[in-house]
Amino acid sequence: MATSKVEGSSSLRHAFGGVLSVFILLLIGVVAFSIRLFSVIKYESVIHEFDPYFNYRVTQFLSKNGIYDFWNWFDDRTWYPLGRVIGGTVYPGLTLTAGTMWKLANSLNIPLSVETVCVFTAPIFSAFAAWATYLLTKEVKGPGAGITAAAILAMVPSYISRSVAGSYDNEAVAIFALIFTFYLYIKTLNTGSLFYATLNSFAYFYMVCSWGGYTFIINLIPMHVLLCIVTGRYSSRLYIAYAPLVVLGTLLAALVPVVGFNAVMTSEHFGSFLVFIIIHVVALVYYIKGILTPRLFKVATTLVLTVGIAVCAVVVAILVALVASSPTKGWSGRSLSLLDPTYASKYIPIIASVSEHQPPTWPSYFMDINVLAFLVPAGIVACFLPLSDASSFAVLYLVTSVYFSGVMVRLMLVLAPAACIMSGIALSEAFGVLTRSMKFHITKYFECSHTEAPAKLGESTSTESSAPLENMTKSDTTEKPEVARKEKVARRKQKKEKELTENAHVKPVSAKKEKRPLVLPLEASIVSVFLLIVLGGLYVLHCVWAAAEAYSAPSIVLTSHSHDGLHVFDDFREAYAWLRHNTEVDDKVASWWDYGYQTTAMANRTVIVDNNTWNNTHIATVGTAMSSPEKAAWEIFNSLDVKYVLVVFGGLVGYPSDDINKFLWMVRIGGGVFPHIKEADYLKDGQYRVDAQATHTMLNCLMYKLSYYRFVETDGKGFDRVRRYEIGKKHFKLTHFEEVFTTHHWMVRIYKLKPQKNRIRGKSRKSKLGSKSTSSKSGGMTHKNPWN
Amino acid sequence: MAKGTNDAQLLVQSLRKAYAATPTSLKIIDLYVVYAVATALIQVAYMAMVGSFPFNSFLSGVLSCVGTAVLAVCLRIQVNKDNKEFKDLPPERAFADFVLCNLVLHLVIMNFLG
């Protein structure tokens, strides 16, 4: 009778717990969605930054022209005159997802525009990512840890920074795909079901479609398999989890045009093939071990080893020769720059110049993952008690992502889910221990409410401790395994150190124990629970602050607060709108590559270079033109059929990310391809300056002239608010360019190339055609080659 | 050296004896795996002779053979009665998973074949 009543009440508790979990998860999804809406509330529903504009343009094309045209699209409005094969060079996952959502909404007669769908894709998928974290952590540790981890991930600032509403970039869906793929892998590992292995391959396919970071998955999973084999945890479930994934995964990855045959030919994938072979060898060894007697097995091993080593040596020699023959050892430039942090600065200055590719500083860890930074070590320890395949995977994931986040600040995003999982485990374990202590003490108090010393194990002697421990072993059979774990998790709280040492002494004394659950004193538990809740509250406060203040700036619209209210700087859109309405459709615009995507998307004009940065020489050409004197620059731009030049200038309002601050990178990149541009020519005594002490080359280059033309008219002295001094050359005229538009706060300045004069006085030369023709693809014009 | 060959012979014999004890259904699966791997090797040899021009066709052919071999091995693992981990998995479920995975594999192969 009593047992069935207990069972009934426990199943009722389980049912109640299940319903509560569903509600909690729903609320977590709502939190994840709403915390990312600050930029929509503070500014407007607009697409942020630079890369999202390209994705938005591609999505627009997809929604207008359908998937077949999208797959075969050759874009001629960028990288003039080279063009870009969009179908083959873009990761289609994000655009296809948003396009599908748009199509679905419209088919249900919900009239959402493409822009709205693009802006809100990231918050929706962050809610999905939180739920995926719940599933993953549930597989690793349990449902309690899952809910905690999901709640933490919904708010972690590092993930918010790349998935805020309006940040329509690959990471918005890729992080969800990453977590979901890991969840399915762990689920397959735990259950050994081939069905989940198939789903795992599909999730991996979605990840490959979405982001170049999929190479992290295809290298982490083989590393984990290798770890399991080496630590003696090989099982047939491991084979089922890994082998179908490699075959199906490679095939599916090869289906995506961006990856194509790279799926079998680049070093990023070789690791998975190597472990594929290794796991087959190990499986064979285990099989033979199972059917032979031990003595014969020893004979077999000696035989195989002698023959096998010889064969292996030959194969390895061939492989090494093949790999070493390519200069990058088969790795792509981006992967190499991750493995060797100094590679990019030596060989690929474009990768080195992007600010998100710099190593992070210590404060950025506390800004981005806050409280998790010190919950993670506790979580690592909790994963070892007990160690299972899934928890070893979580630890490996954390360690590798910590390394990569140390190389590039952009990869802190990959660290965020790992840190959330670990912290969720740590917090859940801590809460489990503390509430168990409280429950134990309270039930004990109600049971024997007279005299008997309350079980303050920490201060009691060994004899007294055995009695309450006996009580404990009878009533709490399910929590035995959590003994030592509780010890270690509690170690970080200073108050409990005293009890710990005494608990450790108590342990060997009692006679009857196998696993004794130790409890903490009641006051300590209550205070600790309270402190943990305060910790959680501080974390939430920080996340909301970071989301509202630090990560919600759309960077296309700037605001500043001054004594007379809020100033809005909408100069970028002003300039692009001017271009859109006041130039011909086929006019080409040259600017630094940062603004390429925005120019094609918003101004709808052809650009020379954009953020895809796939052609270093083309970018170097533009960089050289910006660093050359006016005439040489005019020649270069004329050879590229450029009509308008766009520069960004922050000196009047104090906008620090303008082209003058980026100018040295233009010089370096240009100098990397054209040796007549030397960085030292632009520096005075090794220092970069544009005031009166600047070098002659600097004061005469195109970038200086286009930025500071007529700047002295603003305040009479030419005081640059970003560089904080007066500029060097104040009064000068432009001979080959004319200014056509400057925005309200002088942030974007547009110049037009002046046509050549019809007659050149004083010298007898062939008269050049001086017409203002726009597209000059025919060989009518005689162009002087500027590089002779 | 004689001891070596003697040992090798003994080894082969005991392997044969132990293998003969496996049930027939598992032997059929093993035969299928051998056939798939042999087909893959024949394809590789063919590619070595005539060159790899439509590389996607070569890749899809070889990977389909390797893929079905791997899936058959997974089926064998799940159906084997000696395997303690899978003793409460009905063999029909294992076979259904095998069929599903093969369907997906061949769908992808057909797409990639060109």
| Predicted-complex ipTM score | 0.93
* A332 band by pLDDT with thresholds 50, 70 and 90: low
Q: How far apart are CA B17 and CA B22, in angstroms?
A: 10
- 3 state DSSP class of A354: coil
A255 to B94: CB separation less than 8 angstroms, yes or no: no
B108 to A251: CB separation less than 8 angstroms, yes or no: yes
* A49 band by pLDDT with thresholds 50, 70 and 90: confident
Q: What is the pLDDT of residue B83?
A: 80
B112 at interface of A, judged by CB pairs closer than 8 A: yes
Q: How far apart are CA A419 and CA A376, in angstroms?
A: 6
Q: Minimal CA–CA distance to A53: which of A606, A596, A662?
A: A596
Q: How far apart are CA A207 and CA A203, in angstroms?
A: 6
Q: What is the pLDDT of residue A783?
A: 55
Q: How far apart are CA A612 and CA A603, in angstroms?
A: 18
* A129 band by pLDDT with thresholds 50, 70 and 90: very high
Q: Which residues of A touch B14 (CB under 8 A)?
A: 292-293, 296
B37 at interface of A, judged by CB pairs closer than 8 A: no
Q: Which residues of A touch B109 (CB under 8 A)?
A: 251
Per residue, what are the HEC states of A362-373?
HHHHHHHCCCHH
B29 at interface of A, judged by CB pairs closer than 8 A: no
A261 to B111: CB separation less than 8 angstroms, yes or no: no
CB B105 within 8 A of CB B71: yes
Q: How far apart are CA A246 and CA A225, in angstroms?
A: 12
A248 to B108: CB separation less than 8 angstroms, yes or no: yes
pLDDT at A665 over 70: yes
Q: Determine which of A188, A191, A193, A194 to mutate to test the interface with B (most B C-beta atoms within 10 Å).
A: A194
B97 to A198: CB separation less than 8 angstroms, yes or no: yes
**Concatenated DSSP letters of A22-49:** HHHHHHHHHHHHHGGGHHHHHS-S---S
| CA end-to-end distance (rounded Å), chain B | 53
Q: Which residues of A touch B67 (CB under 8 A)?
A: 244, 247-248, 251
Q: What is the pLDDT of residue A55?
A: 92
Q: What is the pLDDT of residues B68-80, one digit of tens each?
A: 999 999 999 898 8
CB A588 within 8 A of CB A80: yes
pLDDT at A34 over 80: yes
> Would you say how long chain B is, in residues?
114
Q: What is the pLDDT of residue A508?
A: 43
B73 to A251: CB separation less than 8 angstroms, yes or no: no
B98 to A194: CB separation less than 8 angstroms, yes or no: yes
B97 to A244: CB separation less than 8 angstroms, yes or no: no
Percent of chain A residues topping a pLDDT of 70: 83
A303 to B86: CB separation less than 8 angstroms, yes or no: no
- A434-460 average pLDDT score: 67
Q: Which residues of A touch B101 (CB under 8 A)?
A: 194-195, 197-198, 244, 248
A198 to B104: CB separation less than 8 angstroms, yes or no: yes
* pTM for the full predicted model: 0.84
**Identity (one letter) of the amino acid at A44?**
E
Residue A141 neighbours by CB distance under 10 Å = 25
Q: Minimal CA–CA distance to A179: which of A493, A393, A335, A364?
A: A393
Q: What is the pLDDT of residue A451?
A: 53
The partner residue sitting opposite A296, judged by closest CB among B14, B55, B101, is B14
A236 to B77: CB separation less than 8 angstroms, yes or no: yes
* B9 band by pLDDT with thresholds 50, 70 and 90: confident
A147, two tokens:
């809910």
A264 to B112: CB separation less than 8 angstroms, yes or no: no
CB B109 within 8 A of CB B64: yes
Q: How far apart are CA A166 and CA A174, in angstroms?
A: 16
Rounded to the nearest angstrom, the minimum Cα separation between B6 and chain A is 11
Kind and range of the H or E run holding A742: strand A737-742
The partner residue sitting opposite A254, judged by closest CB among B8, B59, B74, is B59
Peptide bond preceding A508: is omega within 30 degrees of 0, i.e. cis? no
| CA end-to-end distance (rounded Å), chain A | 100
Biggest CA pair distance of chain B: 55
User: How many helices and strands in chain A, by DSSP H and E?
Assistant: 34, 13
Which residues make beta-bridge pairs with A750?
A646, A741
Rounded to the nearest angstrom, the minimum Cα separation between B37 and chain A is 13
* A501 band by pLDDT with thresholds 50, 70 and 90: very low
A and B: number of Cβ contacts within 8 A: 98
Would you say the C-alpha torsion A703, A705, A710, A713 has a positive or negative sign? positive
Q: Minimal CA–CA distance to A528: which of A463, A616, A432?
A: A432
B70 to A299: CB separation less than 8 angstroms, yes or no: no
B85 at interface of A, judged by CB pairs closer than 8 A: yes
Q: What is the pLDDT of residue A23?
A: 95
B101 to A264: CB separation less than 8 angstroms, yes or no: no
Peptide bond preceding A244: is omega within 30 degrees of 0, i.e. cis? no
B74 to A248: CB separation less than 8 angstroms, yes or no: no
Parallel, antiparallel, or unpaired: how do β-strands A748-753 and A737-742 relate? Answer: antiparallel
* A484 band by pLDDT with thresholds 50, 70 and 90: very low
A243 to B94: CB separation less than 8 angstroms, yes or no: no
Nearest Cα residue in chain B from A196: B97
B74 to A235: CB separation less than 8 angstroms, yes or no: no
Rounded to the nearest angstrom, the minimum Cα separation between A515 and chain B is 27
Q: Minimal CA–CA distance to A208: which of A272, A159, A260, A161?
A: A260
Q: What is the pLDDT of residue A462?
A: 39
- A462-488 average pLDDT score: 40
Nearest Cα residue in chain B from A256: B112
pLDDT at A350 over 50: yes
- Residue A190 CA neighbour count, 13 Å, CB half: 19
Q: What is the pLDDT of residue A284?
A: 86
Q: Determine which of A205, A235, A240 to mutate to test the interface with B (most B C-beta atoms within 10 Å).
A: A240
* A507 band by pLDDT with thresholds 50, 70 and 90: very low
Q: Which residues of A touch B74 (CB under 8 A)?
A: 194, 197, 239-240, 243-244
A239 to B66: CB separation less than 8 angstroms, yes or no: no
Q: What is the pLDDT of residue A288?
A: 81
Q: What is the pLDDT of residues A541-595, one digit of tens each?
A: 999 999 988 888 888 888 888 887 788 888 999 999 999 999 999 999 999 998 9
Q: Which residues of B touch A247 (CB under 8 A)?
A: 63, 66-67, 70, 105
Q: How far apart are CA B106 and CA A667, in angstroms?
A: 53
CB A669 within 8 A of CB A621: no
- Residue A280 CA neighbour count, 13 Å, CB half: 13
- Sequence-ordered list of residues with C-beta below 8 angstroms from that of A534, at least 6 positions apart, any chain: none
Chain mean pLDDT for chain A: 82
Rounded to the nearest angstrom, the minimum Cα separation between A179 and chain B is 22
Rounded to the nearest angstrom, the minimum Cα separation between A197 and chain B is 8
- Report angle CA A346, A349, A354 to the nearest 5 degrees: 125
Would you say the C-alpha torsion A591, A593, A599, A600 has a positive or negative sign? positive
Q: Minimal CA–CA distance to A26: which of A127, A121, A125, A120?
A: A127
pLDDT at A473 over 70: no
Q: What is the pLDDT of residues A251-271, one digit of tens each?
A: 999 999 998 888 888 888 888
Which of A243-252, A516-525, A671-680, B9-18 has the largest mean confidence? Answer: A243-252
B92 at interface of A, judged by CB pairs closer than 8 A: no
A49, two tokens:
């930054």
Q: How far apart are CA A629 and CA A285, in angstroms?
A: 71
Q: Which residues of B touch A242 (CB under 8 A)?
A: none
pLDDT at A496 over 60: no
**Concatenated DSSP letters of A420-469:** HHHHHHHHHHHHHHHHHHHHHHHHHHHHT-SSS----TTTS-HHHHHHHH
CB A256 within 8 A of CB A209: yes
Rounded to the nearest angstrom, the minimum Cα separation between B96 and chain A is 9
- The lowest-confidence range among A250-264, A509-523, B30-44 is A509-523
Q: Which residues of A touch B97 (CB under 8 A)?
A: 193-195, 198
- Sequence-ordered list of residues with C-beta below 8 angstroms from that of A110, at least 6 positions apart, any chain: none
Q: Minimal CA–CA distance to A653: which of A741, A556, A569?
A: A569
CB A89 within 8 A of CB A612: yes
B75 at interface of A, judged by CB pairs closer than 8 A: yes
- A23-31 average pLDDT score: 95
Q: How far apart are CA A588 and CA A583, in angstroms?
A: 9
- Sequence-ordered list of residues with C-beta below 8 angstroms from that of A722, at least 6 positions apart, any chain: A650, A651, A654, A655, A656, A658, A660, A661
CA distances from residue A467 to A153, A383, A456, A473, A496 in whole angstroms, order as listed? 43, 31, 12, 10, 22
Among all chains, which residue has been given the structure tokens 């509202």? Answer: A548
pLDDT at B35 over 90: yes
pLDDT at A684 over 80: yes
- The lowest-confidence range among A81-95, A163-177, A463-477, B87-101 is A463-477
B58 at interface of A, judged by CB pairs closer than 8 A: no
Q: What is the pLDDT of residue A773?
A: 42
* A751 band by pLDDT with thresholds 50, 70 and 90: very high
- A316-345 average pLDDT score: 68
